[in-house]
């Protein structure tokens, strides 16, 4: 092999290895078809009821902290995909009756990935609000800024 080929292999090896680890670590049988959709009125009602029963709903927003600070559904918690590693009683997400993941809109890659991760880890009662922040704002529901 010549020097150029060796350089390319040395450059691509870590990238390939990390991609392989990611693929193995995230493999599951979860697909987009497994995602249950939550509707805005259901979410709003559960959020209203959560004032008296805080464990009723957890609204997760996996967008970047910057996007979250610029605007999010009132009551949402900003958690990144990398923060969700395990399920079980010791998890920060344990004990909620309903976990709803919300992004910007139906094509929100972070929200889709977070929903799939939660399902793959075995969380029950997980849904995705496909309309996301865009739909929430169109409906005139409360939005907050900041952390």
Q: What residue segments make up the domains of the chain, in order of their start?
A: 1-29, 31-144
Percentage of the chain exceeding pLDDT 90 = 61
Instruction: Give the angle subtended at the CA of 12 by the CAs of 9 and 14, to the nearest 5°.
Output: 115
Q: DSSP letter at 52?
A: T
Confidence of residue 77 (pLDDT cuts 50, 70, 90): very high
Give burial (CB, 10 Å; 0-12/13-18/19+) of 78: middle
**Mean of all residue pLDDT scores within the chain:** 83
> H helices of 26-127, where?
40-49, 65-70, 109-120
Weakest mean pLDDT among 11-15, 19-23, 125-129: 19-23
pLDDT cut 70: percent of the chain above it? 81
pTM: 0.77
Compute the distance between CA of residue 56 and CA of residue 136 in angstroms, rounded to an integer. 20
CB 86 within 8 A of CB 46: no
Task: Choose the CATH number for 31-144 among 3.40.462.20, 3.40.50.300, 3.40.250.10, 3.40.50.800.
Answer: 3.40.250.10
């Amino acid at each position: 092999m010549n020097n150029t080929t060796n350089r390319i292999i040395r450059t691509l090896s870590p990238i390939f290895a990390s991609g392989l680890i990611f693929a193995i670590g995230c493999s599951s049988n979860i697909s987009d078809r497994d995602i249950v959709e939550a509707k805005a009125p259901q979410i709003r009602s559960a959020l209203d009821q959560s004032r008296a029963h805080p464990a009723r709903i957890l609204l997760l927003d996996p967008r970047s902290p910057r996007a979250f600070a610029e605007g999010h559904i009132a009551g949402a918690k900003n958690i990144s995909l990398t923060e969700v590693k395990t399920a079980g009683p010791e998890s920060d997400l344990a004990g909620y009756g309903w976990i709803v993941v919300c992004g910007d809109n139906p094509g929100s890659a972070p929200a889709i990935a977070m929903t799939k991760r939660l399902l793959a880890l075995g969380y029950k009662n997980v849904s995705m609000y496909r309309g996301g922040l865009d739909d929430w704002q169109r409906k005139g529901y409360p939005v907050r800024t900041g952390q």
